[in-house]
Amino acid sequence: MADTPAQPIEKIALVISRGSLDGVYPGLIMANGARMEGIEVSVFFTFFGLDAILKKRMNDLKVATVGNPGMHIPTLIGALPGMSAFATSQMKKGMEKLDIPPIGEFITMIHDAGADIYACRATVDMFDLKASDFCPELDAVISVGQFYEKAAGSQIIFT
């Protein structure tokens, strides 16, 4: 059996379902990197991930310190007043140092680079949201079935 060379990735579909800084940034960084490589990108925001594209919340996301094993601190310590604010401040400083933009600016940058931005219809309906609640970069509110149609041929990545 001859080894076949790996085919380059041409299309990805990212699903962002967490609404914390540490839940949103990985997907945005991956989307940006893919666009810079000429890869077609769709980003589907669902459940609390919608916070990243809601005008009133997108620039006020926090780092989850309670029950977050990546924090490497006991849950009790993570629950102390000010811990989330401190962790958020530290993460934002680190992002700024690396010249990674704030969420709102990053969404604009990725969209301007050609990524498609979608919100999950079921979640939008469940949370009783309206089109006016979202940032202008939102391309459409679509169902899961429509997402699968748009993602056909993509590598689907959950972040």
Tens digits of per-residue pLDDT, 114-145? 999 999 999 999 999 999 999 999 999 999 99
Average pLDDT over residues 44-73: 88
Reported as a pLDDT band with limits 50, 70 and 90, residue 2 is low
Q: Is the pLDDT of residue 105 over 60?
A: yes
Q: What is the DSSP string of 3-72?
A: PPPPPPP-EEEEEE---SHHHHHHHHHHHHHHHHTT-EEEEEE-GGGGGGGBTTTTT------TT-GGG-
pLDDT band at 87 (very low <50, low <70, confident <90, very high): confident
Global pTM exceeds 0.85: yes
Tell which CATH architecture fits domain 13-64+101-158.
Answer: 3-Layer(aba) Sandwich (3.40)
Ramachandran region, residue 72 (left: φ > 0; alpha: ψ -120 to 50; beta: rest) = left
